[in-house]
Structure 1
């Protein structure tokens, strides 16, 4: 997995890099098909914004989060990403099983 963390108007310190990596590893550990992950951390006035794009086979999952604290924005981002990943996994799993059920029912 290729992880790219960039900062717009904010310096990506080793502490922030480790925090983001730790949070994303928990979410992506359940996923085998991740090819790359792009994280953008930005600051606009008093808004701290975190964005992530997870490239998986067949789809890109994009999530954004804003907060007054960068760490809180990262936490909210990982929660949203976790929900999106679970949604993608259940859709992929259901899709395969539905076609099998329909085929058996028609026979």
Structure 2
């Protein structure tokens, strides 16, 4: 798991970094191999904004959250990513287990 953090109009603190790492570790259960997670944290008139991009083998997921509390945005983003990963996993499982139609061999008539 490779986590990168970008801060816009907000100061980077060890507490924020620690909380992002802790929340990001919840996503490990969905992967056997590694994945990249990019967090962009910012503050504007609307409140605290967290945008996350998760890149793994062959797919990319995005999640956004805007709330009054920065730490609540972490929970919201991770919940959204977990929901997307569950959906992705079920789609992959369905694709693997779907039955292929049997092809009837052609019989030669002479």
Q: Same fold (TM over 0.5)?
A: yes
Cα contact 1:48–1:70 (8 A) shared by 2: yes
> Would the alpha carbon gap of residues 79 and 41 (structure 1) be closer, same or farther in structure 2, given more than 3 Å must change?
same
Q: Deviations over 1:31-56 (max 9, x none)?
A: 22443110101100251000111101
Bigger radius of gyration, 1 or 2?
2
Q: What residue ranges of structure 2 are gaps of 5+ in the alignment?
A: 104-110
Paired residue for 1:95? 95
Instruction: Count how many residue pairs are aligned between Structure 1 and Structure 2.
Output: 103
Question: What is the TM-score normalised by the length of structure 1?
Answer: 0.87
Question: What is the TM-score normalised by the length of structure 2?
Answer: 0.85
Matching of residues 1-107 of structure 1 within 5 Å:
1-98=1-98, 101-103=99-101, 106=102
**CA RMSD, 1 decimal:** 1.5
The structure where helix makes up a greater share of residues is 1
Q: After alignment, is 25-34 or 81-90 more displaced?
A: 25-34
What is the CA distance between 1:17 and its match in structure 2? 0.8
